[in-house]
Amino acid sequence: IERHSEFKGEIEARKDNFAQVRRIGTDLIEQDHYAKNDIENKLEELLSQQTKLEHLWSQRLMILKDCMH
């Protein structure tokens, strides 16, 4: 569980980077960037993968805790 908690720390440490990417992408979309459709798709994928990662981390934590009992 300790190593798993370290992974959570890494995820949390990168949240600002993800937020910055979203802000830049949103700014480009608002400025009607020529690739705004691609940017929108990539931002959606980023959010989806980030959500999936956090969900998987939580599921794994439950499994680890169950194994300890």
**Number of residues that make up the chain:** 69
- In tens, the pLDDT along 8-66 reads 999 999 999 999 999 999 999 999 999 999 999 999 999 999 999 999 999 999 999 99
Complete DSSP assignment for the chain? -HHHHHHHHHHHHTHHHHHHHHHHHHHHHHTT-TTHHHHHHHHHHHHHHHHHHHHHHHHHHHHHHHHH-
pTM above threshold 0.75: yes
Q: Answer whether residue 2 shows pLDDT above 90.
A: no
Which 3 state secondary structure label does DSSP give 19? Answer: helix
